[in-house]
Structure 1
Amino acid sequence: MTPPTHPSRRTVVTALGAAGFVALPAWPSKAHAAGGPVLDTHPATEPSGTHVRDVGGTNVVFQYGVVLPAFDGWRTHEPTREYLSLDRRWRFRFDPRSQGLDEAWQSPDFDDRAWGLVDVPSAWDLLDTPGFGSQTAPFGKGTAFADGYAWYRTVVDVPASWRARHVRIAFLGAGYSAEVWLDGVHLGKHEGANSPFALPVDGALRPGTRQTLAVRVFRRASYTDYTATTPQPVTDDHEMPYKPVDYWPYAGLTRSAWIEAVPRVTVAKLLVSGANGRVEARAVVENHGDSDFDGWLTLDPGWGSGARPAVVPARIAARSAGVVRVSVGVPRAPRWSPAAPHTLTARATLTARRPSGPRVDTLSTRYGIRELTIGDAQLRLNGKSLFLKGLNWHEETAAHGRAMTPAEYDRELGHITAVGANFIRNCVYNRHPYVYDWADEHGVLVMDDIDTMWLNTAQEKLQTERYGLARALALTMAWNQHNHPSVILWCLQNESEIDPDGAPVYRAWLADMKAAVKAVDLTARPVTWASNTSNDPAFDLADVIGFNEYFGYFYGKDADLGPTLDAVHAKYPGKPVLITENGTWSVAGTHGPDTTEGTEEWQAARFTAHWTQVAERSEFVAGFTYWVLKDYKQRAGYNQSYNGISVMGLLTFAEERPKLVHEAFRKAVNPRS
């Protein structure tokens, strides 16, 4: 085999290690592919209108003019609500010339019988790309390279009983952006391939009839020509990420979708914080009716909490949202920890007139009791110092891309526990809710990321001062994952540009996102990011110092890591340090001396050299996150001879066979075990 073209993403992000800051290359502001547009249109600000309002002293996230609701409907059906699954076969058609709007493909009167069919959820990349997971298949062919617009259509029979309901359509993921119509009425647009969203449909709903649901999904091309000798990148300053990056941007309706009919007075979200023998809950209640609601809310902290339900008044004005606060002592409740991942289920119940009156709505959520603190350069859980033996991982399989099945998640995540890891970094986007539930149940700690990867200064400035998509992604991350005890860190960005002269643009951007997550997180989780340098001038804003390092591979020597860690600790003596990435590559089955680049022996030896230096400094280094669990697909312009597969994993991509570094990682002893 021809040696892979490396170093993957670092040929784009020129890492300077501990010596200085990173200057990213200039990218064109626009690019169009021959034969049709490849750039989407954007409003003045991100299209969902994501923002925070203070509601009775609690910061609440709103999108599309309503509270951003809980997305537990993919697995939990409340008895007071009705659900209509949209996981089915839809009519589907690519729209390479962007003619769909002009021809009214969103209209219920449009004849789509000649269209093809596609399953939802799925990634259209796998619709017709033979050999997608093979290293020997040709790169640049198939629907994996079909970019621009594509349309989905289906019909739904709306129950007549929904006339007295508030109804929304929920999507767990649509990549990259999606516009939605119901019977030709435009409901809204969403940007961000990996964040769930819910669109209220009350104005377009006709209960007791059959209605047509249409979705137009967009994915920007990565390059104008994927097989060109010098490919021309396609960029869009407004998008996240705004340029080609080092993972595969799967397209389509990649996660579950459903229609949810809730009572007009409804518990939209239940925020729970459990620590120090108490449960603090905030029930966010919406009243979509024309009359004030005067009732009661009962919070049951759950079987196993050792506490009785608490009952408090709930008064919500008509056409408004309110927050009902409840505090319950749970001194006998078990704590959540990796060794004993005890979860509880809290349930909020709204009743009319009196506590035992007619039930109006319910909402349940899983949570855990645990205390997460930082002190003396250590990250502590329940008073015990942590060392994070971690793995970066991408959410994909060769068979289904990002539209993974539960069995695939179980197999993929099972690899993490099999090598003794206690920590995962969700690089560089939010995951399906299944992942957070799995981590809660298996005691695996999580750092959650958003899509803010490889931004340049111009894009950071645009996001902070006008467009606001980065802020929206940070807000929705903290809001959606709030109750998961496994989530212990918020990661704000990955390897983005640092402007000179004190980095005013970079610092303002980070401060804006940090303020967003801190505003809505009742548990005050630490904030970090995956910097491209150990000399990041904004580390004073971080609760945990996080940086990616590739000593001995892209710069310097392996032995430089230890002194670099010592220097960072000397500058920030009270803050824990976390290696957010380190790794090298090997072609599976290639063997030789551990000094020969690309052999399995070389990859394993490089890991051991770095792990040893980190483990020796566990008094201030909180962990090490290896890049990466499994070889992964990317459209970043390298390894095309391997069908775009980056070979930096412990495991191979399609077959998931272990390399030698897999065993080296498994044998690495956690210094705090």
Structure 2
Amino acid sequence: MLKPRSTATRELVSLDGTWRFAVDTAVGERPWTAPLETRLEAPVPASYNDLFTDSAIRDHVGWVWYQRRVRVPRGWTDDRVVLRVDAATHQGRVYVDDVLVAEHVGGYTPFEADITNHVRAGQEFRLTIGVNNELTNTTIPPGTITVSQDGRRKQTYLHDFYNYAGLARSVWLYSVPAVHIADVTIVTGLDGTSGTVEYEVATSTPAHVRVRVLDASGAEVAESDGASGTLRIEDVTPWRPGAAYLYDLVAEVLDGDDVVDTYAQPFGVRTVEVSGTRFLINGEPFYFTGFGRHEDTPVRGKGHDDAYLVHDFQLMEWVGANSFRTSHYPYAEEVLDFADRHGIVVIDETAAVGLNLAVEAGLTGAPPRPTFSPDTVNDDTRAAHAQAIRELIARDKNHPSVVMWCIANEPSSNEEGAREYFEPLLELTRKLDPTRPVCYAAVMFATAANDGIADLFDVLCINRYYGWYVATGDLVTAEAYLEGDLRGWAAKFGKPIIMSEYGADTLPGLHSVWDQPWTEEYQAAYLAANHRVFDRIAEVVGEHVWNFADFQTSNGIHRVDGNRKGVFTRDRRPKAAAHALRARWREIAGSKPAGGQDAARQFPPGARDELNGEGGTAR
């Protein structure tokens, strides 16, 4: 699905702003058939939960309704009119006046509808969007709805971040010609100093297509006739981590000599490959430094905000991060566009978090239930999961910043039924995109000895909290546990390992001279203990701290105003750990080996000496 853009043949109107807003219990059964009777207004984009002082709205389970008037530009008489919703968490329904024109399940990917037959250029229509936040055992992510004795519906879920809902991303109205470009797919390669660009352009109806490649200055560097083919860029400038370079593939639909439609798709020329225990970008070993993150800010919830986008990337640059994972759902397209332009590497993840009922048993004390069964995570769940993968890849396939697909976070990969569930999903992912490696993030319960799916994947992403949930406050024991754990994965599978989560909750301003959990000193010491292990294991090719910033979670006595594992506070102030990471990651960036076998690992100054001394075994 193409991102809407304004071009010489297309126009784009933002529908962001304040909309009328109501929960379903405050309006009639068919609220889209008339103006909403409400005094409330809600901004778009934003989650609605933290906007209002009424707790019944914050805790509402079910449908909410957004409504506004929209005028179609009068110059669109001969064009198709398309309405696009960038995301509706977790289900959306769109009505033009009284007519349902679109419905979508999945809270983090876009959907759209051609509404040409329902509107007229120059005239207004009533736009109503319903959003449902309900999660069940067959949704991605999953959850459970219960009804209390007083009749209130309650939502529970197994992911450790707040279930923010609403229209958290933009809504658009845009025009396209009757015959138009519907999709563009680009796959790049490197051949010496040249770049190869395989392309495929889909059109609404069969049409004559011409493509041109423009460099960053706007100069044409390649061209071809036809809806598919391979272009060659001589003296190509590759897209590199930290040194982004983007070209534009300009696709045109022609009617004789006339350009009927034109669309420019930015892309970068780069390759991604897993070779043995190395992760290669453009044939060069890459070591991931960065974070698991969340779309989470005060008041806005998961609402996209360009100011936070810019500031967060500035903080990542300051701390020396070269990458992040979109934990635990696809982020707004603006985030990936920014990563493309600034050379930040992305592991792109579906919303499949919480596929693990062992966590439920551990948190509630209830008897454990099997994760994979007809009554829990089942074939319908897998179908929803497959659709989430299709939509993720369809949306993000052309982003050079995206180097790997992560199809699940912390599933119960050690349980019976995991392989039967995940093997078809992995096959689908590779069929949709054979060019990128695929991973999942392994939960603490899954070890090298009992994990049932790790052999299927390209990279081992491991989430571990030794020194926090296990061996709390005992970093000597935690370091030994972690090293034994990671060496077990390395020995059994012989694949690259990314530490995709490790972290400790920390209250800013709490200090101690001892290894006391929750203090700033302990968070820094905890990270240092993990880093010593990473530097002793050659198979480790990356470290993503959990988390970039503190974030909101569901109610629970084990969380005090959310998850505090961020190295920045929720309002983006650095804790002591941020400064410690900055020192380490800037050293790593400055100590990249110059080729040869040692290029499989990037060591901070002194780490190589440690391996040859008492700290470990030389490799």
TM range, smaller chain: 0.7 to 0.9
- Rounded to whole Å, the distance in 1 between the matches of 2:96 and 2:382 is 27
Equivalent position of 2:551 in the other structure: 632
Question: Among residues 417, 426, 429, which one is paired with 2:326 in the alignment?
Answer: 426
Counterparts of 1:192-591 in structure 2, within 5 Å, are 192-220=106-134, 236-243=136-143, 244=157, 245-276=159-190, 277-287=195-205, 293-303=206-216, 308-313=221-226, 324-353=227-256, 357-455=257-355, 456-458=371-373, 464=379, 468-498=383-413, 500=415, 503=416, 505-521=417-433, 524-532=435-443, 533-535=446-448, 536-555=451-470, 557-573=478-494, 575-591=495-511
CA distance in 1, matches of 2:44, 2:207: 41
After superposition, give the CA deviation of every residue in 1:569-606 in whole Å (9 maximum; x if it has no partner): 11112x21111111111211111134222211111111
Q: Distance in 2 between matches of 1:530 and 1:600?
A: 27
Contact between 1:240 and 1:452, CA under 8 Å: does it hold in 2? yes
Contact 2:9 2:261 in 1 (8 A): yes
In the alignment, the residues of structure 1 paired with residue 72 and residue 304 of structure 2 have an alpha-carbon distance, to the nearest angstrom, of 29
Deviation string, structure 1 residues 241-284 (Cα, Å, up to 9, x no partner)? 21222112222111111112211211111111221121111111
Q: 1:672 aligns with which of 590, 598, 602?
A: 602
Q: Is the 8 A contact 2:551 2:562 kept in 1?
A: yes
CA drift of 1:199 comes to 2.1
Deviations 1:123-163 (A, max 9, x none): 2123224xxxxxxxxxx947433332211111222345545
Q: Which residue of 1 aligns with 2:12?
A: 83
Structure 1 residues 427 and 411: alpha-carbon distance in aligned structure 2, compared to 1, 3 A threshold? same
The structural deviation recorded for 1:491 is 0.5
* Aligned residues with identical type, % of pairs: 25
1:422–1:279 CA distance, 2 compared to 1 (3 A): same
Deviates more, 1:545-554 or 1:88-97: 88-97
- Residue 482 of structure 1: how far off its partner (Å): 1.1
Instruction: Determine helix, strand or coil for the equivalent of 1:78.
Output: coil
Equivalent positions of 1:1-12 (< 5 A) are none
- 1:470-502 CA-to-partner distances (Å, cap 9, x unmatched) read 1111111112111111111110111122364xx
Amino acid at match of 1:587: L
SS at match of 2:31: coil
Q: Cα RMSD between the aligned structures?
A: 2.3
Letter in 1 for 2:196: R
Select which of 541, 545, 551 maps to 1:622: 541
Separation of aligned partners in 1, 2:264 and 2:255: 18
Name the residue aligned to 1:106.
Answer: 32
Which residue identity does 2:383 align to in structure 1?
G
Distance in 2 between the 1:632 and 1:652 partners? Answer: 8
> 1:664 & 1:593 partners in 2: Cα distance?
17
The letter of the residue matching 1:629 is: F
Structure 2 gaps of 5+ residues are 144-156, 356-370, 472-477, 589-600, 604-619
Check the 8 A contact 2:51/2:300 in 1, yes or no: no
Match of 1:227 in 2: none
Is the 1:593–1:602 Cα contact (8 Å) retained in structure 2? Answer: no
Structure 1: how far apart are the matches of 2:35 and 2:324? 47
Comparing 401-410 with 141-150, which one deviates more in the overlay? 141-150
- Contact in 2 for aligned 1:528/1:542 (Cα 8 Å): yes
Residue 645 of structure 1 aligns to a residue whose secondary structure is: coil
Counterpart code for 1:193? G
State the AA in 2 paired with 1:566.
R
Aligned residue in 2 for 1:56? none
Q: Which has the higher contact order (CA 8 A, sep 6+)?
A: 1
CA contact (8 A) 1:428 1:494 kept: yes
Which shows bigger deviation, 397-406 or 156-165?
156-165
User: In 2, distance between residues paired with 1:424 and 1:657?
Assistant: 19
8 Å Cα contact 1:493-1:529 kept in structure 2: yes
How far is the alpha carbon of 1:639 from its aligned partner?
A: 4.6
How far apart are the structure 1 equivalents of 2:242 and 2:168?
A: 33
C-alpha distance 638-441 of structure 1, shift in aligned 2 (>3 A): farther
User: CA-to-partner distance for each residue in 1:525-573, whole Å, 9 max, x for gaps?
Assistant: 1000101123221111101011211123222522221222222111112
User: 8 Å contact 1:460–1:506 — kept in the other structure?
Assistant: no
C-alpha separation between the residues in 2 aligned to 1:410 and 1:597?
Answer: 32
Counterpart residue identity of residue 398, structure 1: P
Q: Which amino acid in structure 2 is aligned with residue 660 of structure 1?
A: A
Determine if contact 1:464/1:471 at 8 Å carries over to the other structure: no
Q: Distance in 1 between matches of 2:82 and 2:429?
A: 25
Unaligned runs of 5+ in 1: 1-68, 130-139, 221-234, 288-292, 314-323
Give, in whole Å, the separation in 1 of the partners of 2:284 and 2:92. Answer: 44
Name the TM-score, length of structure 2 as normaliser.
Answer: 0.83
The offset of 1:188, in angstroms, is: 2.4
Partner residue of 2:563 out of 614, 621, 646: 646
1:226 corresponds to: none
Q: Which moved more, 1:143-152 or 1:527-536?
A: 143-152
The 8 Å contact of residues 628 and 648 in structure 1, kept in 2 or not, is answered as yes
Please give the alpha-carbon distance, in whole angstroms, between the structure 1 residues aligned to 2:178 and 2:377: 38
Alpha-carbon distance, 1:441 to partner: 1.9
Give the 3 Å change call, closer, same or farther, for CA 638–302 of structure 1 in structure 2.
farther
Q: Give, as a single letter, the amino acid of the residue that structure 2 aligns with 1:120.
A: V
> Structure 1 residues 594 and 368 mapped into 2: Cα distance closer, same or farther (>3 Å)?
farther
Q: Deviations over 1:157-205 (max 9, x none)?
A: 2345545433321111212211111121111221222111112324433
Q: Deviations over 1:187-244 (max 9, x none)?
A: 1221222111112324433445321111111123xxxxxxxxxxxxxx6112222122
Question: SS of the residue aligned with 2:32?
Answer: coil
8 Å CA contact 2:437–2:458 kept in 1: the answer is yes
SS of 1:480's partner is helix
SS of the aligned residue for 1:543 comes to: coil
Structure 1 residue 93: deviation in Å?
A: 1.3
Change in CA separation of 1:80 and 1:306 when aligned onto 2, cut-off 3 Å: closer
TM-score by length of 1: 0.77
Q: Give me the whole-angstrom Cα distance separating, in 2, the residues matched to 1:120 and 1:84.
A: 14
User: Using a 3 Å threshold, how does the CA distance of structure 1 residues 418 and 206 change in structure 2: closer, same or farther?
Assistant: same
- Counterpart check, 1:600 vs 2:520: yes
Aligned pairs for 1:656-667 (under 5 A) are 656-667=572-583
How far does residue 464 in structure 1 lie from its aligned partner after superposition? 4.0
Task: Name the residue aligned to 2:608.
Answer: none
> Counterpart amino acid of 2:102?
G
1:637, CA displacement in angstroms?
2.5
* Closer, same or farther: CA 471–606 of 1 in aligned 2, 3 Å: same
Cα distance in 1 for partners of 2:237, 2:51 equals: 47
Q: Given the superposition, is the C-alpha separation of residues 507 and 418 from structure 1 closer, same or farther in structure 2, using an over 3 Å criterion?
A: same
Task: For 1:466 and 1:649, locate their aligned partners in 2 and report how far apart those are by CA, in whole Å.
Answer: 31
Query: How far apart in 2 are the matches of 1:385 and 1:499?
Result: 30
Deviations 1:343-383 (A, max 9, x none): 11221111113xxx111111111111112111121001122
Q: Partner letter of residue 353 of structure 2?
A: M
Which amino acid in the other structure matches residue 82 of structure 1?
A: E
Report SS of the residue matched to 1:178.
strand
Compared with structure 1, are the counterparts of its residues 549 and 158 closer, same or farther at alpha carbon in structure 2 (3 Å cutoff)? Answer: same
Give the Cα separation in 1 of the matches to 2:377 and 2:530: 37
